[in-house]
A = this chain, B = another copy of it.
């Protein structure tokens, strides 16, 4: 039976395009070989006691090991818990305990943190760089390759058709938010949620004219960590498309560029920070004189106009995705009718306005409740309805009630709404500034300031104000290279010019510009505004 389970995707790829490559560091495989290994891995897991409903943590970079584990767990109906190694250790351990992980598959690069989890789980299976079985495991521990060897023997003794007792509304995986306030919150996804949310990203990118267009014959390298919703679904839609898969493991920007050139990568996904680093490295290497023909899906935080312009000059096209682990994918920027647009208009739309995915409906609401007009100006909060929305946070009824109601997910994100139902997502509500009862979107000011020479990073945050309630202040990290730095006066002039050009409202100009050596970051690579406020000794409510 074909039920729409996650591992059916890999089975199909092995069948339809057995020889298409799967590459991960020095490891070179094919979909057919991966399917064989996954089948043996499932057998091995079964032998050590993993079964339907068992929660299994995965602590690894984007590697062939992680890729394989996802499908083997699906075959057993076990629950996949990708561990976010960028979380603070206490939070990470909290998620292991809260999800009820019984086994952990840990890459040796994360041995230190994995050892702290050993007492919380039944067993840790070690994933070593050395794939030989000869390596004697320390303290009698089991390695990944040994488990596959055990599974290979087991499969010969007793062939099993896996997945018989698994249905598409069984839980496939559990993820935790990387929230900056309170404990991480867990979301559980059924096979059908993860399957359709992942595939609709690919479908949207194939149907529409986008900056991250997907075509037959692409070679794809997902740079979004698998612990972020399986790499924003790329773990699944890449084999589904039958595309050549390149896994970056620990590659830094320089190594990523080498892989892109060597494997002819045409498509990738990454957050703006990664995109920035990749571009920076490219500019260093080529002196901005060559094009890098790459299509990129990006999102998670707004793109500055400065970065957008540099990407255009480097020949990198991109689309923006809006979503998150508590809603999965919601919208992606796309051009529906390109006929009447200039190139510049086209690029602006792709960099700012995201169009809901098929089967997704959004609403942008006033604080009082009703929808804001679709005028591209009025700011409201984004509410989302989709077939793959979780039904709440795992074991957390209070926070679930506050966020999920009547089939809607309340995102806490601010956006303006356009006539074509696309969204320009501006800010997290908690990061936005409310001045005299009016929202000020900090991302718009940040994007403007990023256009100035020497500005490496910029965060606009709320400052308590007696008269206005809150006022924005800008915190800026400047380049250390003396010749590339503009003056503070230049920054102010740039803001005033933006008001004259109609790009900024007068009252959106920050009250103050503060310079800092290094802005604090979250585990997801975004600027940690709450920590920044503390550092600046701003009392928040």
The chain A residues found within 8 Å of chain B, CB to CB, are 1-4, 8, 11-12, 15-17, 196, 199, 202-203, 206-209, 214-217, 240-242, 334-337, 339, 356, 358-361, 385-387, 389, 407, 420-421
Contact = CB atoms under 8 A, between A and B. Distances in A.
A2 B385 contact: yes
B407 A1 contact: yes
Given A3-B387, A206-B207, A387-B4, A15 B337 contact: no
5 contacts: A2-B361, A4-B196, A17-B420, A203-B203, A207-B215
A239 to B, nearest CB: 11
Contact of A421 (B1, B15, B199, B202): B15
A216 B407 contact: no
Given A206-B207, A217-B339, 11 more contacts: A2-B360, A2-B389, A12-B359, A16-B356, A16-B420, A16-B421, A203-B203, A206-B206, A207-B216, A209-B216, A216-B336
Contact of A207 (B11, B214, B356): B214
Nearest to A358: B240
B8 A359 contact: yes
Contacts of A421: 15-16
Nearest to A334: B216
A217 B12 CA distance: 31
Contacts of A420: 16-17
Q: Which 5 A-B pairs have the closest CB atoms?
A: A1-B407, A206-B206, A2-B387, A206-B207, A216-B336
A251 to B, nearest CB: 27
Nearest to A202: B207
Given A217-B336, A336-B242, A359 B2 contact: yes
A2 B216 CA distance: 30
A362 to B, nearest CB: 9
Contacts of A336: 216-217, 242
Contacts of A17: 420
Contacts of A361: 2, 11-12, 15
A82 B407 CA distance: 32
Given A16-B356, A356-B16, A2 B240 contact: no
A216 B206 contact: no
A237 B79 CA distance: 33
Nearest to A208: B216
A240 B387 CA distance: 14
Contacts of A3: 387
Nearest to A5: B387
Nearest to A356: B16
Contacts of A356: 16
Nearest to A3: B387
B337 A217 contact: yes
A508 to B, nearest CB: 31
Residue in A3, A202, A203, A420 whose Cβ sees the most chain B Cβ within 10 Å: A203
Residue in A2, A8, A217, A359 whose Cβ sees the most chain B Cβ within 10 Å: A2
A74 B199 CA distance: 24
A305 B167 CA distance: 45
A336 B3 CA distance: 26
A420 to B, nearest CB: 8
Contacts of A337: 216-217
A335 B215 CA distance: 11
A207 B237 CA distance: 12
A493 to B, nearest CB: 41
A384 to B, nearest CB: 10
A427 to B, nearest CB: 24
Nearest to A240: B358
Contacts of A385: 1-2
Contacts of A334: 216
A334 to B, nearest CB: 7
Nearest to A195: B359
Contacts of A389: 2
Contacts of A360: 2
A375 to B, nearest CB: 16
B206 A335 contact: no
Contacts of A359: 2, 4, 8, 12
Nearest to A18: B421
A410 B339 CA distance: 47
A360 B216 CA distance: 17
Nearest to A363: B15
Nearest to A337: B217
Contact of A407 (B2, B11, B203, B386): B2
A522 B297 CA distance: 50
A440 B17 CA distance: 30
A197 B269 CA distance: 29
Contacts of A206: 203, 206-207
B216 A335 contact: yes
